[in-house]
Chains A and B, each alone.
Chain A
Amino acid sequence: NAGVTQTPKFQVLKTGQSMTLQCAQDMNHNSMYWYRQDPGMGLRLIYYSASEGTTDKGEVPNGYNVSRLNKREFSLRLESAAPSQTSVYFCASSSMGTTTYEQYFGPGTRLTVT
């Protein structure tokens, strides 16, 4: 049982390049999330998927797109990277009843855009 896995662990991009961050969970969770973590700002939600087949914008969606490929996988795409997207990106998943329960996090992807 691997929990939540993310690839890659590290990435350096030049401004304007594109890339996709991959996330998978093996806990049969309905909901999945992408966050970015910046110093002093905690975690900010980029996009989330409440269930398979649905995606919604979070607090900071500009410059990103997502795909909920199936129940296990949720990818985050940067179409044209900018230095402001330098951050640590975390994927998370959770089960959900009427309210979101605790989330399980991946190890993170450290992205630098030069």
Chain B
Amino acid sequence: AQSVTQLDSQVPVFEEAPVELRCNYSSSVSVYLFWYVQYPNQGLQLLLKYLSGSTLVESINGFEAEFNKSQTSFHLRKPSVHISDTAEYFCAVSYTGGFKTIFGAGTRLFVKA
């Protein structure tokens, strides 16, 4: 069965430190990959996506993720986090020809002053 695994349920980190949120998915020939962010009491918002082309994708607020086909991973990184980055982050994957998106269980990022 298709699945997405987020390896950490919670990640506490100090402000201005780097962070990596890990995501692995079950293998397939062709995938689209996404990271969504959910701030408290809100719906999910798209943070960044990989559809094709360059394997390194970036968001407007300094996050980046790298598609690694051999490792079936799509880890999210930020070199220096801010308090405002505190939120829950969801990795998601769509498989070619499918109508559905599979979501991971989420990683709660908590940035401390």
- Check if A99 is an interface residue, CB within 8 A of chain B: yes
Instruction: For A43, give the chain B residue with the smallest CB separation.
Output: B103
Whether the pair A99, B98 counts as a contact (CB closer than 8 A) is yes
> Contact between B101 and A100 (Cβ–Cβ < 8 Å)?
yes
Contact A101 B32 (CB under 8 A): yes
Interface flag for B78 (CB, 8 Å): no
Instruction: Name the one of A41, A58, A102, A108 contacting B34, with C-beta atoms under 8 angstroms.
Output: A102
Q: Closest CB-CB distance, B24 to chain A, in whole Å?
A: 14
CA gap between A104 and B105 in the complex, in Å: 18
Find chain B residues with CB under 8 A from A92 CB.
44
| Interface set, chain A 69-110, CB cutoff 8 A to B | 90, 92, 94, 96, 98-108
* Most-contacted residue by chain A among B32, B51, B100 (CB, 10 A): B100
* B residues near A102, Cβ cutoff 8 Å: 34, 46, 49
Whether B101 lies near A103 (C-beta < 8 A) is yes
Give 28 CB contacts A-B under 8 Å: A33-B100, A40-B9, A41-B105, A42-B103, A42-B104, A42-B105, A43-B90, A45-B100, A90-B44, A92-B44, A94-B101, A96-B99, A98-B97, A100-B32, A100-B94, A100-B99, A100-B100, A100-B101, A101-B51, A101-B94, A102-B46, A102-B49, A103-B101, A106-B43, A107-B42, A108-B41, A108-B42, A108-B43
List the interface of chain B (C-beta within 8 A of A): 9, 30, 32, 34, 36, 41-46, 49, 51, 90, 94-101, 103-106
Chain A residues close to B by CB (< 8 Å): 4, 31, 33, 35, 40-43, 45, 48, 50, 56, 58, 90, 92, 94, 96, 98-108
Which 4 pairs show the lowest CB-CB distances between chains A and B?
Answer: A105-B43, A42-B105, A100-B94, A43-B103
Given contacts A102-B34, A108-B41, 8 further A-B contacts (CB under 8 A): A40-B105, A42-B104, A42-B106, A99-B30, A99-B97, A100-B98, A100-B100, A108-B43
